[in-house]
Copies of this chain bind each other. A is one copy, B any other.
């Protein structure tokens, strides 16, 4: 075929000294124009890099004049000869060469963008989101999406090699009353009826195990219509996996290996075997089911040492616990007050903070000295394994779990201040043995901590009736740097045990049948033992990218109100469209 146009024969990132003298055609965007003497220099940018173009007034005045009238973000096609630069730029892979331009073709003009297309932009969050297509031109944003592509691809390559099949499960599924946060989709062909968008493909992947698929995965969009926190999106992506004829150990090993493979391949980070920590220990020593283990600073419970000495706050507390900040005895009063204010913020809710410094001579000076003898403070020091120069921080409260959560926040804040939360360091672990149930005070009933299909540990099954709160599950989370990256469980595959679970969770047999009938029915025909897990791809990528929010590793994210401000969605729809769906809008005051 005859080619009418060939837009380019090289990218803007690939020319080197080896190409000297070649006549090349490039295309890209104007990053920058500089005039120096009779010369005009243009940095031409594409996804692959930047190449310097040169126009010389003396050689071709008209061409140079045209170059002088270009603007930022114009789209150009040029033909020119590769020449060696006199002043090389070793910051740039193409920095040894430049292109002496002989032909200039403006493919498209550009208005001045509302913010600079630079690594550090002058655009605020709102305007960047409104013009997301321009924000995506910036290297760091595009790099995040390149990383995302690479991670997803590497996950697929790894799982394919392990015999996993990627199977697409439906997006238009069934709404369940329990799925209070389901997005629903009215059906035009089935008036008055609705599909729901999946919060996860859980039941479908279990059905695939019943079908004998043996090893399933899917990188899949999931949906949740809930009030959004900083790190949530109404649509999010999971790496969803399930395996048959496995126990917990098989799942942990396979996905630990996959994770290590990703860290190695993509970040060139070698990781040791992941430690395992029980949920109970995670709560006790870190006040969190997703402890940040990049640093120690474990909780020490101090009830035995600090209660009963006349300090009313501790004496009446259900929990007294401390952390030891190594080398932080130099914290000023001002810094300590700021920390106290930090834990007293309503989001954290501590009543106050007690601190104790270990002086150079080994003596301990605390903010509650008048209640404690030096002897007691020395016992404190020993319990905390504190040394001269260390700072001990203590919280207390009436509710053990709440106090631990507060101490967890304090621990993370202090660690941040001490520079212990290095984004280039990765500390991974498995948190295991989660409780099967979670008690809800408000509704006075148990809820499934993971989901109703999670298997109890066989050795705890006898407690299901007598002490459900004590039953541990074969459930596990993969935690990296204090972020829950993935989680899963071994599933119940016995229909009698599954029926019992539904009953314990307060489902009537009718309700269970209505909602999960097809799954329980499937279990009648020979369900294999199975289990799996799901990773949050958005979080996994943002962790690899060192981002604080998942938003910047999503091409077109929504804001905290669930809006896409670029396309202006959601939005009202026409009455005719509503009529077709047999719907009326009925906004109550």
Residues in chain A within 8 A of chain B (CB atoms): 1, 3-8, 27-29, 45-48, 73-75, 77, 107-111, 113, 131-134, 136-137, 142, 145-146, 148-149, 152-153, 156-157, 160, 165-175, 177, 180, 182-197, 203-204, 207-208, 210-214, 221, 223, 225, 227-228, 234-235, 237, 245-247, 249-250, 252, 276, 458, 493-494, 518, 522-529, 554-556, 558, 561-564, 566-574, 577, 579, 581-588
Contact = CB atoms under 8 A, between A and B. Distances in A.
27 contacts: A1-B249, A1-B276, A4-B458, A7-B250, A133-B211, A142-B213, A149-B165, A156-B156, A167-B555, A168-B221, A168-B555, A170-B556, A172-B183, A172-B223, A172-B234, A173-B564, A173-B567, A173-B569, A174-B569, A175-B577, A192-B572, A195-B570, A204-B555, A518-B566, A579-B588, A582-B585, A582-B587
A517 to B, nearest CB: 8
Contacts of A588: 579, 582
Nearest to A25: B245
Given A108-B523, A584-B585, 12 more contacts: A3-B247, A136-B213, A148-B167, A168-B221, A170-B558, A171-B197, A172-B223, A172-B235, A175-B577, A187-B225, A582-B587, A584-B586
B518 A245 contact: no
Contacts of A136: 207-208, 211-213
A561 to B, nearest CB: 6
A247 B3 CA distance: 8
Contacts of A185: 183-185, 197, 570
Contacts of A214: 46-48
B169 A555 contact: yes
Contact of A526 (B29, B518, B526, B556): B29
Contacts of A1: 249, 252, 276
B187 A184 contact: no
> Top 10 A-B pairs ranked by shortest CB distance?
A110-B526, A136-B211, A174-B569, A7-B245, A193-B570, A73-B526, A187-B570, A584-B584, A133-B207, A47-B214
A485 B171 CA distance: 23
Contact of A75 (B4, B109, B526): B526
Contact of A184 (B186, B193, B522, B527): B186
Nearest to A521: B131
Nearest to A219: B168
Contacts of A3: 247, 249
Given A246-B7, A584-B586, A588-B582, A174 B571 contact: yes
Contacts of A249: 1, 3-4
Nearest to A136: B211
A237 to B, nearest CB: 6
Contact of A581 (B47, B160, B174, B184): B184
A211 B134 contact: yes
Nearest to A554: B168
A168 B247 CA distance: 33
A529 B566 CA distance: 22
A297 to B, nearest CB: 27
B577 A586 contact: no
A175 to B, nearest CB: 5
Nearest to A574: B177
A563 B153 CA distance: 33
A224 to B, nearest CB: 11
Nearest to A29: B526
A528 B12 CA distance: 14
B134 A153 contact: no
B221 A171 contact: yes
Contacts of A153: 156, 160, 166
B524 A110 contact: yes
A208 B573 contact: no
Contacts of A133: 207-208, 210-211, 522, 525
